[in-house]
Structure 1
Amino acid sequence: MGPTQFIAALRKAKPAPVYFLRGPDRFLHEECRKAIFAALPPEAREWCLAESEFEAKRLRRELEGAYQMPMLGGRTFVIVSDPQDFKHATDEDYEALEEYLERPSPFATVVFAAVEPDRRRRFIQLLEKKAEVVEMQPLDRREAARWLKGYLAHAGVEIEPDLAEEIAANFESAGESGQGRQVGVNLVWMRTEVEKLLVARPGSKRLKPGDMALIVAFREEHEIGKLLRAIADRQLARALDNLRALLASKQSEVLILWCIGDLFRQALKSRAGSASAYGAPYRGGRGSSSRGPFFTPEAASIAARKYSSQELLQALRQAHQADLRIKSSWKDSRILLEFLVWQVVVGKASGGPLPVSEPVPVSSAEA
């Protein structure tokens, strides 16, 4: 099953009891999450949607909550994600999952999400065998072009299929899969640049070939690359300067956060090797995009040297927590992004307020 079929099932109000969202495309993960949110009436979202980060030996408690009848009727959705792809699931967690899959709640849909799960682990094998698996693989050029056409139609803008495919081709990134070198389109990147194009062409009802000149993705790649390099170098003031410049240019906060998380995921692989850090990662479908469009080998290599393995894992978890907070309608996501950069560069544990004795430095322009 692909994301399209998953979203269609939600819209028809016929979701399965348990899903396993599996694959590297984080944009598609977010699209599926938005579809879950949209499937719930506004007045029920506070009570009928639960998102949590997986913790070893606590899964049984999470699943017990799924058996509770929703206060406002309808259906409850429980989303369980883990920046380490359930690597630390215990025997107790396996047993809890096995019991739930044998007798799922009639009132809930539970969604597990993983980016590069180790398919040798029996917890993952159980999900793949018993849950509805949704493949979150990067779209190829034609599929991405169809997605772009639908996205623009929602905004009241038309585009010819050939032009949509030409635009999608500009956002392809190569990765490695079990079938060799593969190419997929990064939808986060493409959507960000198309949004800028729509702002630059207010009132436009059709995109034309000449509009391609306004897509400045490669300049943005360089700017985000500078932010990642500063974070990798543990240069806090420079990283905050770069972050604030990107935010001032209206760069997508979701894209910035995605790139920061991807930096530390790639640094972990660079430090320990893909197989030893994550086991044998999932590499099915059209191919896993092991390098995002803003990923630079140099930045990951530097981060692998300047951060310990524990710090890299902590940074990945902090990026995931920031992502959850931004999705929870945090009023000022800029503060969250600046705090995240401070946390990972300084090496502070998450969970508490910013210490008064160690404030986030102002940028050089503000000093």
Structure 2
Amino acid sequence: MDALPFLAAVAKSKRQPVYVLAGDEDFLKRRCRDAIIHAALGDADAAFAVGTYAGDKLDFSTVRNELDTLPFLSPCRVVVVDAADTFVTAHRPALERYAAAPSAAGVLVLDVKAFPENTKLAKALPDAAKVHCKAPPAYKLGAWVQEWARAGHGKKLSPDAAALLIDLAGNTMGQLDQELEKLAVAAGAKSTIEAADVHRLVGRSQGADVFRILDAIGEGKPAAALTILERLFAEGVAPMGVLAPMMAQLRKLAAVGRLTADGQALGPAMDAAKVPAWPQARESFQRQVRWLGRRRLDALSGWLVEIDRDLKGGSPLPEKVQVERLVVRLARPRT
């Protein structure tokens, strides 16, 4: 089960003796862990009923004894094993036996990076006990940010503000939550957070620096675009770390190029390509369209296929050189 529907249902669901939180989104794992503990213990004091262990040097007997210990002033005991991949690998047969005959007094929570479904342990657990903690796909992240602003911080976040927040802060849910907390405090009694608030208060992420490269291109400043690129490389950012957010924007530019070539007006074409609607984003995008011109817009899809192939071993050139070459193609003035 994915984390977000799990969180919506856990309070009313049957308690499981074993939960597995699998994935790499720590924000979701923390929320799922807190929700499991609250559902298991109710109003009981967690200090007397929750034990947390590091999984790298943990014996199964320690966990089993804790799970079998009768709870004190609480409905059950909860045992959390952090970074449990090593623990699961080392004690898989014991965990399989435990899943078949669990303690009535305990709830075991395993925090792992990976939990393959083809193992006996995974097959022994119901779907409701296996929680996939991964960030929503990009096209759903804006809706999640708006919902979490309301549920977690008591503020309405406008769609434009949500899109700008993701552009600036990146797509890590924990980072987005931190920025929402800052925005909510700054908003005070104001019920809605607008794009102007985000623009004023949220710092720029690595992904936003990549967008600054495209902004510089759209403003006809190729030297500035290359300077930002070289600074990112000097700071240790990998070529793919630069290219991934850049490609997302370039795909939108290619889509708008195709739609306008077919006779669609620029505004509706940007809507269809899901270009954020807040004014700064639209103005920047329009400048990029004008700078690139028809010939480069038509060539963009081919360039993206080419660099994707080359970075996967199709070219002998170093990865940095390949990304630099793409930026030069985009940034140089039209002939």
Name the TM-score, length of structure 1 as normaliser. Answer: 0.49
1:102-141 deviation per Cα after TM superposition (whole angstroms, max 9, x unaligned): 1012232211111246x59xxx934422233211112223
3-state SS of 2:189 partner: coil
Pair 1:99 & 2:97 matched: yes
Q: Shift in Å at residue 45 of structure 1?
A: 0.8
> What number of residue pairs does the alignment pair up?
210
Within 5 Å, which residues of 2 pair with 1:146-225? 146-154=143-151, 155-161=153-159, 163-172=161-170, 185-218=171-204
| Deviations, residues 147-172 of structure 1 (Å, cap 9, x unaligned) | 32233224332223454344334444
1:35 maps to 35
Shift of 1:203: 1.7
Tell me the residue number matched to 1:58.
59
CA positional deviation for 1:212: 2.6
- Report the Cα distance in structure 2 between the residues aligned to 1:51 and 1:28, rounded to whole angstroms: 18
Cα separation, 2, equivalents of 1:126 and 1:97: 10
Query: How far 1:86 sits from its partner (Å)?
Result: 1.5
Residue 89 of structure 2: aligned partner? 89
Q: Which residues of structure 1 form unaligned runs of 5+?
A: 173-184, 223-293, 301-367
Q: Could you tell me how far apart the structure 2 residues matched to 1:143 and 1:171 are?
A: 16
Hey, what does 2:135 align to over in structure 1? 138
Identify the residue that residue 176 of structure 1 maps to in structure 2. Answer: none
Paired residues of 1:142 and 1:165 also in contact (CA < 8 A):
no
For the pair shown, which has the larger CA radius of gyration, 1 or 2? Answer: 2
| Contact in 1 for aligned 2:187/2:193 (Cα 8 Å) | no
Please point out which of 125, 128, 141 is paired with 2:119. Answer: 125
Bigger relative contact order, structure 1 or 2 (CA pairs below 8 A, ≥6 apart):
1
1:229-250, CA deviations, whole angstroms, 9 ceiling, x for partnerless residues?
A: xxxxxxxxxxxxxxxxxxxxxx
Which structure carries more helix by proportion?
2
Q: Which amino acid aligns with 1:128?
A: A
**Is the CA contact (8 Å cut-off) linking 2:57 and 2:87 kept in structure 1?**
no
Q: Residue 236 of structure 2 corresponds to which residue in structure 1?
A: 298
Provide TM-score, normalisation by structure 2: 0.53
Q: How far apart, in 1, do the equivalents of 2:234 and 2:4 lie?
A: 31
Q: CA RMSD in A?
A: 3.4
Per the TM alignment, residue 74 of structure 1 is displaced from its structure 2 partner at its CA by 1.3
Counterpart of 2:218 in structure 1 is none
After TM superposition, give the deviation of residue 101 of structure 1 in Å.
0.9
Match of 1:112 in 2: 110
Counterpart code for 2:124: K
Kindly tell me: are residues 197 and 8 of structure 1, through their superposed partners in 2, closer, same or farther at Cα, counting changes over 3 Å?
Answer: closer
Tell me, in whole angstroms, the C-alpha distance in 1 between the residues paired with 2:130 and 2:52.
Answer: 19
Q: Who is 1:248 aligned against? A: none
* Structure 2 counterpart SS, 1:77: strand
How much identity, in percent, do the aligned residues show? 23
Q: Distance in 2 between matches of 1:57 and 1:213?
A: 47
